[in-house]
Every structure is written in C-alpha cells, then in structure tokens.
Structure 1
Amino acid sequence: MMMTTLEKPFAGRTRPRPSKTGKTVPQQKQETSQLTVWLIAVRDQRDRAAFGALFDYLAPRLKGFVMRNGTGAAQAEEIVQDVMLTVWRKASMFDPHRAQASAWIYQIARNRQIDIIRKENRPVPDELTLNPDTEPDASQILAFDQEAEQLRAAIDQLHPDQKEMIEKAYIGDLSHQEISAQTGLPLGTVKSRIRLGLNRLRNELKGLR
C-alpha cells in the first residue's frame, strides 16, 4: 500500500497548535481529531491512504493495549490485524457524534479480545470491562514499552535452554505439550526449564510493577 504524507502527521509537532480562536489545542486532542478525519475518509471515500495512516498510527498502540491485558505478542498481532480489517469493513457504522474514532476502534479491540478470552475459558481482565470512552494515554503506552524492554533484557540474560522455552511459551504462544512435540524434549523437562526461567525472571524484575 502506497503511503502519503498522512503517514507521519504528528512528526515534529511537540507543542500545542493555536486554534482559530487563538487558544491552544492540546496535542492529544489534535491527534484525536486527525484520527476522526482519517476514519471519515475511510467511511465516505474508502480512502486507502487514510486507512494506511490510521493503521500506522494505531496498530502499535492497539498491540500494546492488547498485550497489556494478558495476550501474547503473536496473538496480539493477529487481533490487531483483525481489528483493523473490521474497521475497514465497518467504517460505515462510525458516527463521530456518538464516539471518538479512537474510542470506537478500541471498543472493537476490546470486544475481539474478550471473545477470544471467553473461547479459551479464561477470566476476563478487569481492565477490559472499564469505560471505553478513552484510549490508553501516552504515559501508559510509554510505560508498556519500557516494561517490554526490561522484560526482553531479562530474558536475554537467561540460560539458553531456559530462554528458548520461555520464548516459545510466552512469545510464541505455544503450550507445554506443543513445545515438547516441537523440540522432542520430555514434557517434564520443558516444564522444569520454564519454571526455572520464570523464577529467575521474577528475581530480575522485582522492581517492575
């Protein structure tokens, strides 16, 4: 998909922009307004460039939101792809008078994640039942990114055998049985390496909330 200058609409914009009334408009509000412009362009004109810009801006934020609620990286990628495909298909249902573009899209992501969690017979995190009127703010996204970096650094310090099992289980979303079948290792060995790896990670990440 060819992108236009819509790809990086906020690059270099570090200060609020004056509005026509002379008052400054917070950057978050500017971004929310731009998301609405893009989504309306997708809704009314099936604008692929606008959709590409919408995707580029929201995809990493949606992935962070989904992973923060207990979903692995691989499955989070699939959910984001599914959510954005739904946005393209159902853009005609978006009404800016009833919801902000970000809230509308995040609600689709919430619903999709809840559906998956219920199919897997897992408890739905409280965060997914909260008021969806606002999207995670910049500080939440930054905190997630920092936590992910700390976790990756800690995983890299594990013994190679433990690191491999942890990555397969928690990044590759494989069950213990699937890891055993894939590696040829006894199920008990897989569980033992994962347990030892997790114990070490807990010690390394004691300061991580």
Structure 2
Amino acid sequence: MTPDNDPALANAQWIEDMALIRDHQDRAAFARLFAHFAPRVKGFLIKGGADPQVAEDCAQDVMVTLWRKAHQYDPSRASVSTWVFTIARNRRIDLARREKRPEPEDLGWGPEPDAAQDESVALQQETDQLGKALKELPAKQRDLIERAYFGELSHKEIADATGLPLGTIKSRIRLALDKLRHAMG
C-alpha cells in the first residue's frame, strides 16, 4: 500500500515531513508537502470563488506559512491536511475581507452624523442587558459564545482548540443563543 491510497500512511508521512521541516528545515520534506498540497489548496480556493491567479498567490502564501510555522503544528490536535486547509481557509477569509473594503473614493467624507440621543441610550441599554445575560450563562456556554462570536472562530476551530466533540460545541452554542434570545426579550 502506498501513501497515495492509504490516508493513515499518508498522514504519517506528512507528520514525519513536518517534523523534518520543523527540526532541520528539510527542503526535500517541504518539496513533498508542497507537491501534494499546493495544487489542492489552489483548487480549494478556486472552488471557493477566488480568481485563479489570486488562488495561486494564496496557495503559495499558505505553503510559505507551512514552512515558517511548522513548529506550531501539533499532530495530536489535527492531521496535516486539516492544519494546511485551516490555514488556507483563513487566508481565503482574509482575501474576502480585503475585497470588501471600500476604496478611498467610496468612503464618506467628514464626520458621521451623531446618532439621536434616544438611539444612543437604547443601544447602551441593550449592550448592558446583553452583558448581564452573557454573565448569567453557564461558564462552558459563555466560553464557547465568546470564542465563536468575539474570537470569530468556526465551530470546527473551537472543537479543535478545546478537544470537545463538534456536536457538543454546536449544542452548547445553540442552548446559549436560546438563553440570550430569551434574556433579550
């Protein structure tokens, strides 16, 4: 059986290659990972709507990140492919955010008009009410809400970071959101 048709064998080889990159800056190990992952990352980005040239540049950036941050890879937390595609996903999100930023000529000039005083008071009251509702959540639910909405992590990223099953993450977040909706009226 070859690494190409045995995922467990392939991941074991990739883990070994990551260790070689981390410990010895091994170019041959990097070349193997690059040959396997770069075209797949590019395809992933194109399927996600990126222009082919942008996808190519982004795939190169992902592979440079793999080289520079090999020391951050932890095989007990994720497979090499999961780690690589998480980097690619984050780069894709960064690209999308950059594309949505307005050009300078699209920006309004001058100060924003002040909100009406009653709107400001209402917004402050809602903010205070939400803060109290968050504090009343069980610690486990509050932590997940903070990671998902303030830390902008996906459910999968939270599961990877906490070691909790993905279904548990989703259930706790759903329960917490229901409690927050109820508290906010």
TM interval, shorter chain, is 0.5 to 0.7
Q: Which residue of 2 aligns with 1:94?
A: 73
CA gap of 1:130–1:74, structure 2 versus 1, over 3 A, is farther
Report the identity percentage.
42
CA gap of 1:92–1:57, structure 2 versus 1, over 3 A, is same
Aligned partner of 2:86: which letter? Q
Q: Which residue of 2 aligns with 1:108?
A: 87
CA gap of 1:61–1:85, structure 2 versus 1, over 3 A, is same
Give distance in 1, aligned partners of 2:75 and 2:61. Answer: 22
Q: CA deviation at 1:116?
A: 0.8
Q: CA deviation at 1:52?
A: 0.5
Q: Which residue of 2 aligns with 1:72?
A: 51
TM-score for both structures, normalised by structure 1? 0.46
Choose between structure 1 and 2: higher helix proportion.
2
TM-score for both structures, normalised by structure 2? 0.52
Q: What's the CA shift string for 1:67-100, capped at 9, x where partnerless?
A: 1111111110000000100111111111112221
Give distance in 2, aligned partners of 1:30 and 1:57. Answer: 14
Q: What's the CA shift string for 1:104-130, capped at 9, x where partnerless?
A: 1111111111011011118xxxxxx57
Give distance in 1, aligned partners of 2:14 and 2:49. Answer: 26
Residues 187-206 of structure 1: pairs in structure 2 closer than 5 A: none
Q: Which residue of 1 aligns with 2:31?
A: 52
Does residue 28 in structure 1 map to residue 7 in structure 2? yes
4+ residue runs over 4 A deviation: none
Give distance in 2, aligned partners of 1:94 and 1:53. Answer: 17
1:85 to 64, 74, 91: 64
Q: CA deviation at 1:50?
A: 0.2
Q: Which residue of 1 aligns with 2:127?
A: none
Give distance in 2, aligned partners of 1:34 and 1:63. Answer: 22
Does residue 131 in structure 1 map to residue 156 in structure 2? yes
The alignment's C-alpha RMSD in Å is: 2.5
Give distance in 2, aligned partners of 1:30 and 1:131. Answer: 24
Select the structure of larger CA radius of gyration.
2
Local SS of the residue matching 1:117 = helix
